[in-house]
Structure 1
Amino acid sequence: MATYVCSDIHGLSQKYYSLLDKIDCEHGDTLIILGDVIDRGPDGFEILMDALKRENVHLLMGNHEYMMWEVLEINKGEIPNDISVLNWLLNGGATTIAAYNKASLEDQFFICQSLRSLPYAFTDIVVNDRHFYLCHTAPGKAKDKKVLYWKDIKDPMNFVWERMNPQGPFLENKTIIAGHTIVLNYHSNLTVFSDTNDLKTAHYIDIDCGCAMNDESSKLACLCLDTMEVEYF
């Protein structure tokens, strides 16, 4: 049994299912997705439904799920055709909106309820005596709990949008793993970034390898916390 982390799939189902084929969630492996399975690519709604229904797949709230949740909460489960969804559309939400509107009422209700209860961070995942803080962007001001939900965070919207400073400050005795910022902002290739250039000693690891770009160079990175090895899809 092993624990894997990925982030920012952005609607690319082929990469998502290829990843699932490599790990064994059916027999004890755990996959933690650090948000942003939806938008930009064509299959975000399908991935969202699949991830939420799998027992050993755990999805954290990303800024794209937050935009979806905010629209659905304000409009009681419906997506209006007006300016209130402009920010979501400008951030690639059209494909998700179209799929949601075609979904059954049962599936729409399931999505609304699931988004409302998504965790925002796992603040102390321990693997081989190493402690990890897993979130979509960066640790923010929140209660001291192992799992953070919207009610535990001072500013939930900022929590899912603020970008991590790769120079720190970092957390004492914990390695931060996040996505949200494509690694090209930190170095010149689409490989996982770490502040020390060594995943085994890193204080901060960014695993967003560009699925949002949805081109031939896009990669979905999957990091195994047990071995600190990365596989790309």
Structure 2
Amino acid sequence: MSLTYVIPDIHGRFDLLGEALHQVHAHAAGNGGTLVMLGDYVDKGPDSSKVIARLRRGMPDGWTFVPLKGNHDVMMIAAWRDPAQMTRWLEHGGDAVLESYGGDPFIIPEVDIAWLEALPLMYVDAHRVYVHAGLDPGVAREAQPESTLLWKRYPKGDSAGFEGRHVVHGHNSFAQGPELYEGRTNLDTRAWRTGRLVTGVFDDALPGGPVDFLVIQLPAQEP
């Protein structure tokens, strides 16, 4: 059985990322597979620098590793490249990122920014589309605006997929999630705050939603 594991928004919680990767390896039992990360590696949580360092190392042989880009990652890139964007980023959790790097934006290595910048916005397999935020069903896949892929909010109860594929996304945090619909799965459980991270497990041979979940509950982060 070929499986795809999907980890949603980490937001600087290196502790959750480490536990999730341990769970994924244990569940795969040495068989490898595909690991998709849904973006938002930075902001809000305490260890964004360590999260980026770990993800840059990738996965062992036998794994296909697909880290996607999230809107918070894009805000960090924009602030690093243009000081005029710094205030907006800090207001959305960038202050925690600066602390994780030592408090000075000029300490953030360019290689980290370049890695984030090069990440893809979407991953597609035979049955599913994986994206940080969502897709516009009225727009062809190759014409989807970056703003939609990074910032879309699905209306509550919207169950549509995309071009016959199931959509797997994060971004729209729901602490009691994941949210499961016929055409899409939202895995974002606001893990950076709640301490509860849910990894979706998908069977590559079967269409539709997840066949299993790997759930972690660590201490919540104080507001």
Q: TM-score, normalised by structure 1?
A: 0.75
Which of the numbers 162, 175, 178 marks the counterpart of 1:192?
178
Work out the CA distance in 2 between the residues paired with 1:8 and 1:32: 11
Work out the CA distance in 2 between the residues paired with 1:106 and 1:89: 16
Contact 1:12 1:41 in 2 (8 A): yes
AA aligned to 1:40 is K
Work out the CA distance in 1 between the residues paired with 2:107 and 2:93: 25
**Corresponding position of 1:64:** 72
**Corresponding position of 1:187:** none
Contact 1:51 1:57 in 2 (8 A): no
**Corresponding position of 1:134:** 130
Which of the numbers 34, 37, 43 marks the counterpart of 1:39?
43
- Unaligned 5+ residue runs, structure 1? 75-79, 146-151, 185-189, 196-201
AA aligned to 2:41 is V
**Corresponding position of 2:219:** none
AA aligned to 1:91 is H
Return the offset for 1:84.
Answer: 2.9
Work out the CA distance in 2 between the residues paired with 1:111 and 1:28: 26
Work out the CA distance in 1 between the residues paired with 2:88 and 2:23: 35
**Corresponding position of 1:77:** none
Decide whether aligned partners of structure 1 residues 211 and 58 sit closer, same or farther in structure 2, where only a CA change above 3 A counts.
same
| 1:13 paired to 2:4 | no
AA aligned to 1:207 is L
**Corresponding position of 1:94:** 95
Aligned residue pairs total: 200
Decide whether aligned partners of structure 1 residues 158 and 49 sit closer, same or farther in structure 2, where only a CA change above 3 A counts.
same
Decide whether aligned partners of structure 1 residues 107 and 89 sit closer, same or farther in structure 2, where only a CA change above 3 A counts.
closer
Work out the CA distance in 1 between the residues paired with 2:173 and 2:36: 18
**Corresponding position of 2:206:** none
Contact 2:10 2:40 in 1 (8 A): yes
Work out the CA distance in 2 between the residues paired with 1:15 and 1:101: 21
| 1:208 paired to 2:188 | yes
Decide whether aligned partners of structure 1 residues 108 and 159 sit closer, same or farther in structure 2, where only a CA change above 3 A counts.
same
Work out the CA distance in 1 between the residues paired with 2:171 and 2:213: 18
Work out the CA distance in 1 between the residues paired with 2:91 and 2:9: 17
**Corresponding position of 2:196:** 219
Work out the CA distance in 2 between the residues paired with 1:174 and 1:6: 19
Return the offset for 1:172.
Answer: 3.2
Return the offset for 1:101.
Answer: 5.3
**Corresponding position of 1:148:** none
**Corresponding position of 1:125:** 125
Return the offset for 1:96.
Answer: 0.9
Q: Which moved more, 1:156-165 or 1:15-24?
A: 156-165
Work out the CA distance in 1 between the residues paired with 2:140 and 2:77: 22
CA RMSD of aligned residues (A): 2.8
Work out the CA distance in 1 between the residues paired with 2:197 and 2:3: 18
AA aligned to 2:190 is G
AA aligned to 2:73 is E
Q: Report percent identity of matched pairs.
A: 22
Work out the CA distance in 1 between the residues paired with 2:20 and 2:36: 12
Contact 1:36 1:62 in 2 (8 A): yes
Work out the CA distance in 2 between the residues paired with 1:163 and 1:67: 18
Work out the CA distance in 2 between the residues paired with 1:182 and 1:39: 14
Q: Deviations over 1:184-220 (max 9, x none)?
A: 5xxxxx231112xxxxxx20110001214x24xx311
Which of the numbers 199, 214, 219 marks the counterpart of 1:231?
214
SS state of the match for residue 71, structure 1? helix
Contact 1:51 1:58 in 2 (8 A): no
Work out the CA distance in 2 between the residues paired with 1:96 and 1:52: 17
